Amino acid sequence: MIEKSHLGNAMTVRFGVVGASHWARTVHARTLSDLPGAHLVGVWSRTAAHATEIAQELNVTAFETFEEMLDAVDVVSIAVSPQAQASLALKAAAAGKSLLLEKPMAPDVVGANAVAQAIRDAGVSSIVFFMRRFVQEIEDVISAAAARKWTNARVAIHSNAMSSESPYASSIWRQQPHSELWDIGPHVLSVLLPVLGPATSVSAEFDDRHSLLTTTHAGGATSHISLSLRATADEIIREYRFSGDDGEIVLPEPSFSPHDAFARAALDLIEMHSTGTLTHNCDAAFGLEVSRLLAGGERSALNGGIAVKLDHGKALSP
């Protein structure tokens, strides 16, 4: 992970934000508007009136077209649905723009592979905003845990985001059945994979409110994962627990703001863009690895929970 202090005398990098949702406004746009080393040039959204509202608040440009934005920026920061993000990321990469993406990169592994390939072919920098990987206290524990041998992990992330008054309850893609797999799943795998190593197989089951996954890893560990966006009040939990022959650790849950985590991700990308660095712990290649595992889990669940073998993250036949 690139540290903020390494930014040095890097040039100011021009950012454009795509999207006008609550997250796009409060995290992407507001953070970039006052971040050292970043110049937020403007905002574009398919709903022009919403982009104008954000632009007026932050005194930046409301672009009329995505292409107009691409001509004016160095980095595109995208905060839209996975379906929309994938197509926009392809255009931005082809235009030579570095990318700050949300997870998942695309709604399926085909789209994620296309995005990762486009970024690789264009030779541009990329970061996928796996939020907890940009919280220093959590990242320190992940780094320490990765150096130890684990046999088992149990993860339970149960939220009531889709059954509450949260600003995300109106998100159309999250309203689809089992959306927790592609919404919460990337966060979980962004922690598990660096600690346990590459996955060799995944099996999954769905019920009305949960996605349940079991993964095996190259080092011999097994993880059991329970995800929900529609948890009842007594089910709400957020826990990552790793156990092995020499003990157990529970991932900390420190208080942090998405604004601060996003600022760190953006600073890392500024450094990458300024120095021509193309790899990062949370780059598009890692985002593709996460998507491949999720796609394997989805395939397993749709085939009665039969385990899907993975080869370097690629799902093979059940």
User: What is the CATH classification number for the domain harbouring 174?
Assistant: 3.30.360.10
143 and 63 within one domain: no
Say what the pLDDT of residue 178 is.
Answer: 82
144 and 106 within one domain: no
124 and 61 within one domain: yes
Burial of 246 from C-beta contacts in 10 A (0-12 / 13-18 / 19+): exposed
Confidence of residue 311 (pLDDT cuts 50, 70, 90): confident
Q: What is the mean pLDDT of residues 301-312?
A: 92
308 and 169 within one domain: yes
Domain containing 124 — which CATH number? Answer: 3.40.50.720
208 and 307 within one domain: yes
Q: What is the mean pLDDT of residues 141-161?
A: 95
Of 286, 50, 307, nearest to 190 by C-alpha is: 286
Q: Is the pLDDT of residue 219 over 60?
A: yes
Say what the pLDDT of residue 164 is.
Answer: 64
301 and 161 within one domain: yes
170 and 35 within one domain: no
214 and 122 within one domain: no
189 and 49 within one domain: no
90 and 176 within one domain: no
Q: What's the whole-model pTM score?
A: 0.92
Range of the domain at 145: 136-253+291-315
Residues 6+ apart with CB under 8 A from 16: 40, 41, 42, 43, 44, 63, 69, 70, 72, 73, 75, 76, 77
264 and 239 within one domain: no
205 and 146 within one domain: yes
Q: Is the pLDDT of residue 252 over 80?
A: yes
Give me the number of domains the chain comprises.
2
